[in-house]
Amino acid sequence: MNNRQSMYGSIAVAILIAGVIASGCSAKSDAPTMVAVSGTLSIDGKPQENISVTFIPDNSKGTQGPASVGRTNADGKFTLTGPGNRTGAMIGFHKVTVACPFNPAGGSSATGVASDGAAPCKLPLSLADPEKTELTAEVKSNAAENQNVVLDVSSK
C-alpha cells in the first residue's frame, strides 16, 4: 500500500508541477497591443530628415493607449516606437503630429533652422499641436497594411 500511495503522490506532484508551468506560460501581459507601423513623410513633395512623427490615439474615436513616435531619415522614412522602445502603435484611429527638430540655438520651432545646420524646416505650427493638427491615420490590426503610411504635408 505504501508503493501505491507513493505512486499516486508522485502523479499528483507531477500534475501540480505541469499545471504551474502551463499557467505561467499562458499569463497575459499588461502591455497594450501594438502593431508595426512605418512610412514616409514629405514636405511639399520632398523628403526631409530628422522630423518627429507622432501617432496619438484618438480617444474621440475609441482608440486609447500610449502615443508612438518616429523620426525621419534622409529619405523621409520613419518607424514608430512606443513606450519601452516597443515597435509600433496602437490599433485604431490616431491624430498625427509632425514637428521640426529641436534647435538648441533657437529653441523648438516649427519654422526654425534644423539643428544639424541643414535647410530650414518649414512646417505650420498647427501640425505640431495634437489639438490643431488635421493629419490623421488608421492603424490596422494587420501589420502589413501599416508598412507604407504616406504623409505629404504642405509648408504653407
Q: Say yes or no to pLDDT of 53 above 50.
A: yes
Domains delineated in the chain: 34-153 (2.60.40)
Q: Is 48 exposed, middle or buried (0-12, 13-18, 19+ CB in 10 A)?
A: buried
pTM of the full predicted structure? 0.72
Residue range 18-40: mean pLDDT, rounded: 67
- Asked if residue 33 lies in contact with residue 75, where contact means CB atoms within 8 angstroms, the answer is no
Q: State residue 86's pLDDT score.
A: 93
pLDDT in tens, 61-86: 999 999 999 999 999 999 999 999 99
Question: Between 60 and 105, where is the model more confident?
Answer: 60
Q: What's the chain's Rg over C-alpha atoms?
A: 24
User: Residue 105 has what pLDDT?
Assistant: 53
Q: Between 116 and 141, where is the model more confident?
A: 141
- Which range, of 6-15, 39-48, 75-84, averages the lowest pLDDT? 6-15
pLDDT band at 30 (very low <50, low <70, confident <90, very high): low
